[in-house]
Structure 1
């Protein structure tokens, strides 16, 4: 019996060892971005700049092409001095989006894969490290970038690590309103925000209510996903927390008539708390979510022309 199964066991062990670097890198990216020396990555702070420098370094290592000659794209925005008084005094801040491109064979359309890298910073001696929100999403974005560099996509894929999501989706708003010069039109947004912590093992794909053409694609990915991939949280409702359509960086794309899918988890006890640390990440779920995000990006790329042809704008 031992001899009979020796070769299959050896093959399984060899495959597992070969996958270890693939599994280790997203965890290392997440751990690095959620470290104390990033100081919570609040926009305009030294910690945010350190996080951005790390992402730029990773884009370069992966081999992404700078967009319009640079990975870094600065913008200004304003927000209330006191969020409890949105109509009160405002201040102007500077943010920086990080953009990199993988060229496809067909350059007429572009898929944007996005994740915000900023978080809420620190205060009163405590650092809000934002491991799930959203170091996890950036780590997944980097994994997708590495995949497409190794397996070239059919269409151009632009990777956008957005700044200043917290407090107004400002980086994504600026990007959509001031789109970079690209050979093709932006035809889709795959947004990743909080994909690292889910005790129940549930990952949501949001957007199919607005774009029913995406239902078969999501169902196909769900069939083979290593996590439980569900749809929902995108119907109009009396409780705004139950409709995530406008709650993350996919919103400006949707409002511009660009279809989207948003991958994320439900709010949890660590959301915007100092407890959102690398140690709370549910490792197997996170790695399964990364694998699911990679497969989702593959499927969207393969179906991008059909999706673009079926969608003329948001239903709601």
Structure 2
């Protein structure tokens, strides 16, 4: 009888912690968040639209709930720009910025995804579920994890505005960065991470920063989706994603980057990029995979 009791106690002592740590991301929250950010209520989140402002409030409320600090009042970095295509001036676009100080290093890992999308065209709403409610929601999930598990490096979590209008939010962030740019150890950008028929997620940037590849290979071993490398070869035209999204602004400042994303699908930049067309299991796995990579990078880049 005592041996059975001892076995039970061992299971309770060692089994439950393993189970509790197996899932590091709140999957229900992840799906709920992307459903809201890509809903018709937000009307495609075009900069300075009512839906865009609702998205800002949603992200700020989450940062506040998680106890994040910020170098900007109300988590908000406002900026203005001219959209030459429209001939319009956007005076109050906004990046939403949260911060967690590191336990062992003042160097910073900037984790980001753009929350804006195209908005409306006539009667059509471009909801932008994959592009890029998915990356924004992934950023929120990572912020939640590290708010409960303090990172070794300081981490800045950023929801960027106006990517679809020429990476204006990223340009503003880099131009008005609250620390010396030399303090940034790494930039992580997530843009389209919720669906792929081949079960593949790309980590772009290791051609330029090859020291990152073995760290990512170690972190992603045995995980699903499969982590792929490439789309960063100079001279490969549209197949080169080095300057395809907001990470380009950090790369231009010689900050190492990894861009997590999928290859374009038929619903890209169409009204069909909706919540109903994401692949929930892929999305959950992709965010878990990115988290595993970020945990390993946070540890391995200390030296």
TM-score, scaled relative to structure 2 = 0.90
Match of 1:96 among 94, 97, 100: 94
**Counterpart contact for 1:226–1:292, Cα < 8 Å:** yes
| Structure 2 counterpart of 1:216, from 214, 217, 228 | 214
Question: Which residue among 58, 61, 68 is the counterpart of 2:62?
Answer: 58
User: Structure 2 matches for 1:1-316, cutoff 5 A?
Assistant: 15=19, 19=23, 22-82=26-86, 89=87, 91-181=89-179, 185-239=183-237, 241-306=238-303
Structure 2 distance, partners of 1:90, 1:42, is 13
Q: CA deviation at 1:179?
A: 0.5
Are the aligned partners of 2:25 and 2:141 in contact in 1 as well (CA < 8 Å)?
Answer: no
* Shift in Å, 1:225: 2.1
In the aligned structure 2, how far is the partner of 1:274 from the partner of 1:305? 43
**1:186/1:70 CA distance change after superposition, 3 Å:** farther
Rounded Cα–Cα distance in structure 1 between residues aligned with 2:181 and 2:129: 35
Query: Closer, same or farther in 2 for the Cα pair 1:92/1:147, shift >3 Å?
Result: closer
TM-fit CA distance, 1:177: 1.4
**Cα pair 2:126 2:273 within 8 Å, conserved:** yes
Report Cα offsets for 1:130-170 as digits up to 9, x if no partner. 00001111111111111111111101000010000002101
Cα distance, 1:211–1:30 mapped onto 2, change above 3 Å: same
List runs of 5+ in structure 1 lacking aligned partners: 1-6, 83-88, 307-316
Task: Kindly provide the CA deviation profile for residues 48-84 of structure 1, in whole angstroms up to 9, marking residues without a partner as x.
Answer: 00011101111111221122443011001112134xx
CA distance in 1, matches of 2:142, 2:158: 12
Whole-Å separation in 2 of the counterparts to 1:21 and 1:116: 20
CA distance in 1, matches of 2:227, 2:156: 24
Normalised to the residue count of structure 1, the TM-score between the two structures is 0.86
In 1, distance between residues paired with 2:292 and 2:220?
A: 10
Give distance in 2, aligned partners of 1:283 and 1:164. 26
Distance (Å, rounded) in 2 between the aligned partners of 1:66 and 1:184: 19
Query: What's the CA shift string for 1:202-259, capped at 9, x where partnerless?
Result: 10000000001111012112213221100000011242x2000001010000000100
CA distance in 1, matches of 2:180, 2:208: 26
Contact in 2 for aligned 1:68/1:181 (Cα 8 Å): no
What SS does structure 2 have at the residue aligned with 1:289?
helix
Q: Which moved more, 1:21-30 or 1:129-138?
A: 21-30
Matched with 2:3 is none
**Aligned equivalents of 2:227 and 2:124: distance in 1?**
34
Change over 3 Å in CA distance of 1:189–1:153 after alignment to 2: same
Deviation at 1:19, TM superposition (A): 4.8
Shift of 1:303: 2.4
More off after superposition, 54-63 vs 201-210: 54-63
Is the contact made by 2:116 and 2:163 (CA closer than 8 Å) also made in structure 1?
yes
CA contact (8 A) 1:108 1:183 kept: no
Misfit runs of 4+, over 3 Å: 18-21, 89-93, 181-184
Compute the RMSD of aligned alpha carbons. Answer: 2.3
Structure 1 position 305, deviation (Å): 3.5
For the 8 Å contact 2:60–2:74, the answer to whether it is kept is no
Alpha-carbon distance between aligned partners in 2 of 1:210 and 1:193, rounded to the nearest angstrom: 19
| Number of aligned residue pairs | 290
CA distance 1:21–1:222, shift in 2 (3 Å): closer
Match of 1:65, SS state, is: coil
Q: Distance in 1 between matches of 2:88 and 2:279?
A: 38
